[in-house]
Structure formats: C-alpha cells, structure tokens
Structure 1
Amino acid sequence: MKDTKTLTLTLLSGALALCTIPQALAAQCNIVIPSSHHLIDGNTLGVVAGDTICLAAGERGPLRIRNVHGEAGNPVVIRNEDGTVTTTPYEYSIAVEQSSQLRITGSRDEAGYGMRLGGTVGIGGLSEYIEIDNLEIYRARFAGLLIKTDPTCDPATWQENFTMRGLRVHHNYIHDTETGEGMYIGYTGKSRKLECDGVATTVYPHKLTDVDIYNNTLENIGADGIQLNSVASDASIRNNKIYRTGVSPFDPKYQNTGIQVGGDKVTVTGNLIYRSGGNGMMLDGDGLTIHDNHILYAGENGIFARNPAQQDSTISDGEAHVYSENLIIHPASYGIKLYAVNTATPNLIKENTIEDHGQRDAANRPMTYSYLNNSVFRQELNNRHYVVEQ
C-alpha cells in the first residue's frame, strides 16, 4: 500500500524506474521526485487523493505538473522533502495544468523558505481548487504568480463552460519580478478575438470565484503588486504587505499599482501598500468593500475606483462601494478618486484618514476626495484630513 512505502523516481540508462525507500519516510512522502526529473504526471505515477509528492533537495530546472487530482478535504500535496529546493531564474519554475484539489507548499523556518523558485509559478490548463503557500518566488522575467486559463478555440476554456474556483494564495514571499506583476490572477480583457477553423470568433475568458489571497509579502515588483481580474464574486485580498511596485513595468501608464481589482463582490482589507509607482489601488467593479488598508506614498491616487456603469451608460443600479477606516498617507494626487456612478444605493465613504501636505486642485479644493460628477451617489461620514506642512 502507498502508506507503507515511498516510491522514488530515478533515471536508469535513460529510462524511468521505481524503487523503494525506508518505511520511516513513508508517512511524509508517497513519491519523491529527483532533481533531474522535470515532469509530474498524476496519471503516469498513479497519484491518488491524499498523496504527498516530495521534491528532492537541491537545484533543479523548471517543473511541469499535470493530471494531479485530490479530493475536497483530501488534496494532493507537493512540497520539498528534507532540504531546500531551488530553481534558477527561468521563464517559469513550476507550471500546473489539468489539476485540482492540489496544494503546493514549502517548509519555512529561521533559515528561510524550503522552496526557492526562480521564475514564474503558473496555474492554468483549466486547473482549479489550488492552494499555494509558503513559497519564495524571485526574479521572474514576467509575473511571480500567473494564474488563469486563456480562452482559445477550445470551448472548454470559454466563460460559459469553465469557472476557476477555490484558489488560496497565502504566506508567500514574492520579490524582484523583472517587468511583470507579483501576482497576475485572472484574464484582464473582456473578450478575445480569434480565428477558429477559419471563422472569426469572439471568445470570453473564464470568471473566478471563491478566491482568498492573504498574508503574502511582495517587494520590488516590476508592475502591479497583486492583480486580480475577471472576478464573478466571493474574493478577498487581505493582510498582505506590498513594498515598492511599478519599479520597471511593461506598461508604465497603467501597470504600476499596489493592488488592481476587476470584478464584483471583492473585499480588500488589512493590506499595507508602500510606495506604489501609480495608484495605491485601482478598482473596477460592483459591490467592492475596501476596509482598514494602509496606503503610504502612492505615486498617484491612494485609491482610484470605478464601476461598469461608468464605462457603459446602459448599465445602472449596480451595487455600491464601501470605503471605511483606510489610512492614506501622502498620495501624489487624491486620497480617493471615485468614479462609481448610478449605483442602487450611495457609495459609503466612512471614517477614512488622509494625511497630505495640503495641496489643492485646479478648483482650489483639498485633494482628499474627488468624484467624477453628481452621478457618483455617495455618503461621507466622519472622515479625517490632516495637513503636514513641508
């Protein structure tokens, strides 16, 4: 039985062979992948729910994972074995396809992270119910984490046929991406135009739901710190620390925020954003709740937000936004710039604190709150503004 011995993959004369290792390690690792091996195929290896797959310590090249499926409450776990696993910077370090109920995790102690991954960790190929935690991801040429399945001519990838669910990303350390985001989660466009079997076809990207991103640290990020798009509902970004974003963005005008959100019913709470290249947050959706965040020295607005109705006049009565108990210190422009229009109820701006140097806009108004026009229904309650003279 798999719980009484561990299968270790070795390469013998160019062929894949199986051998056993002592029973004492069996409770820890069901399968051990040597550093020379670059593919985990759950079908080939006979992986079942509850298995733990361990990566042998040492330097390795990029790893592709496919067809690995656990069960709800009994995932397959992939982790380092008994030492540090390091991948040297490359286009990607780990790529996951066609997998579900999978956790990728690393040990963590005073010496650092047990999984040090140079290059992008990608989750795609219709994968869902994925947990990623306690990894160090560094010097990715593009994004540190890239999580989405792009729509193609395959109908399985279309919005009406697939929703990515059950994503958990927590306690990771992502730093020094070269040009891309710390986390790039969800497709950014509304649609994609393709030619499928000679026919011009417009396809729509999948949505995400049941997403929780928390307790991560991101430093020196090329573009946006955390970018979460195409959210249908039920997503949370909480208690993350984001230091210096937009340091070398591929798009200097837009891709330089601390947190960027596109979608509905997203909660952003308890985050620290320090020195974003552009907006501390850039938000686009209905029913957004932004609570108890600290945004320091944003390169543009502390928060810039809008909703679908602002971009399409046929839309109205969307769910209002809530901004409460946020601390915004010395943004280069406004504290909160809100363009969420024609909502069913007023947007609530309550008990926020803004500190700046007392700068005023062209209309000689304090640069605390700015609204597109009177179609931004709002209620302001107990907000504070402190001026610190230069």
Structure 2
Amino acid sequence: MKSYDVVIIGAGAAGLMCAASAAARGRRVALLDHANKVGKKILMSGGGRCNFTNYNIEPANYLSSNPHFCKSALARFTQWDFLALVDKYNLAYHEKTLGQLFCDNKAKDILSILLTECEQHGVDIVTQCAIASIHKIEAPEYRYQLESSMGPWRCQSLVIATGGLSIPTMGATGFGYDIAKQFGLSIKPRVATLVPFTFKDELLRLAQSLAGVSLPVTVDCRQQRFAEALLFTHRGISGPAVLQISNYWHPDDAIVIDFLPGQSLEPLLRQWRDSGEKAGLTKRLSQYLPKRFIQAWFEFHAQQSALETPVAQLSNTDIERLSELLHRWRVIPTGTEGYRTAEVTRGGINTDEVSSKTFEAKKAPGLYFIGEVLDVTGWLGGFNFQWAWASGYCAAQAL
C-alpha cells in the first residue's frame, strides 16, 4: 500500500502544476497517469511551440454555465505569475498575435520547467498506471483509496486532473466525468470545441477547391465576433477565426463571414465604376483577395459573368450583390470535425458543485477537480493553459 498526502490523477498541464505547487508546500505527492509519457498535449500544442498563456487574460475569455466561477483562480494565479515561473528558468518566448505567448524553441521547454519543479519538490511521478477503482475509506490520516495496475494507493486528498474528451489518440477519456458522477456531481453537456467546421455537398466542393487558401476574415455567431485568419480545408473551414467562433456555435446555427474586414466594397466598386475602370473584377479585387479565391467564389455563386464584365459596366444591383457576397456570407456548417481534432471540450463537471476557491467537491470532502474536466472553456490563444495553471495552483494551496 502506497500512502501519500495527495494523489493527483492526470499528468497534463493542470496536474503537473498542482503537483509541483502542493509539493512545494511540503505535501507528499504522487502524480499518476495512464499514458506512457506525461504532458503529451503540452508537447503537441501550438504547433510544437506551446501557446502557454496570453498577455490579455480576462474572465470574459471563458465560457461556463457559471461565468463567475473562473474569476477567483484567474485573479489569484495570473499570467504574470506563470511568466515569473518561466522567467526563473530563462525560457525564451515571443508574442505571436493578440497577446499569445509561444516558446521560441520547443514546447518541451515548458514541460521541462514543470518536471524540474516536481523533481525539486519530491513529487513521485508514475506513468502507465491505470486506475481500476476509487472509494472512500475511514482511516485517521486517509480518505481515499485507489486500486490500480500498480497496486493500491491511499491519500488524504485526491485531485482529478484528467482533462476532457478532445484528441482521444493522445489518451483522452471520460474518466474524470465518471469519477465525478460516482461521487454525486452532475455533468453539463459536453461538446468538441475550438474545432474546424465541416461542410457537405456543394459547400464541401467549394471548400475542397479552395483547400489551403487562407485569408483574414471576421466571423460572427451568437453576438460574438472574431477577426483572425480563415483556412479552407478538404473537409470545410478552419483557422483561428473559425476555431474561436466554434466555442459559441451550436448545431444549426448560421455563421456570418466577412472576407474583406476593414474594407467597404460597395463604395469602392462605385468609385471604380464611376472612374470608368475598364479592368474586370478579378484584377481589381486581387489587390485584396487571393485570385484563386475570387475565381472559385464567384463561380460558386453563379457570378462568373460579373468577373468578366468591366467594372465600369456594373449596375447598382451588381454592386450591392457582390458586396453582400463578400461582406456578409451566411452559412450553416454541417457540423464539426469532433473530438478527433478539437483542442478542448466545452462543458464538463458542474462548477456549482465545486468550490471556486479550493476546487474541492462540495459533496465529497478531500476530492478536487481541476483543469479542463470542469465546465470552464477558454478561447484559443493560451487561455486554456492559463486555466490549467491557475486551477492547479489554487487547488494546491488547499491540499
């Protein structure tokens, strides 16, 4: 029987931060994971450079059935606190766009920092440890016992940091939700998010004809708007703007895309027409949009003749229709690519049943839930990692 003050299940971002922080407070900590390596999602995130936080962290960047839940942890362990940790190790990093911070070198630099912190404070990290069952025990110093592929464990405090359902090929499972239900906590509906959209039929053929084309857009849905890049794929559309809006999208919702953000096409076309412009639209619009996109776009919308007509000959109706097509394209995605490629899971353990200060389950003293397993989902851009750091650190202060 292995006995610890704290056992943490899940050696991802939240689990590693919690383990290091709890051990730094003098707790005897074991960090268990069923995978053969720790921190797999850290290593693959941000194209292998790990977008580990953001300069502009606010509670408004997070979705939850209880929008107030995240406020305490984000205030108690901020992006500046995590930056102090990476600065301690002289990590080289840079801002990419919109406050997003990436490693200059490799994501393993972030993982190395967390593992070094764990090692310095005596955390026992055990991989390939499958948990068979968890139950409460009545003992003077211990409240939970775990049966595992490596024998039994017991602890005073048990932390579940097993993440959501996204990217099952990286080992994601519903284990954390099962434990929550076992101890009487409810689960909010879960859905794959920060995920590309898929199309079918004519829309799919359009996307496939433009696969690889990327351009800046704004995307609107449910009173939310994001201005970043869109990428056409062989399945539909992706890119940062699409991933961001997917956080808010529900099935059958329409999204509205502006392919010329910051421009106003209608007066521009009128100006070109009134000046007697003899060139066609392809030549003039290629100053603002990829030529491949222009050709496929107008062909799809049966506006090929407008491309070939000299701009000077466009009617007011032509101009209004062309402006509408490029500034306010309304489309209903068929669906998303699902958990296979989703970066996170929206929904999860009901935060009304967890302390926002300690992350302890209200119905199960000594049982804690942190990170993505909770019903807290951040925007793309380092926000979900910051939630992992903040929730892991704050829970550790109560262990």
Which has a greater percent of strand? 1
Instruction: Judging by fraction of residues, say which structure has more helix.
Output: 2
TM-score by length of 1: 0.25
Task: Say which structure, 1 or 2, has more relative contact order (CA 8 Å, 6+ apart).
Answer: 2
| Rg larger in structure | 2
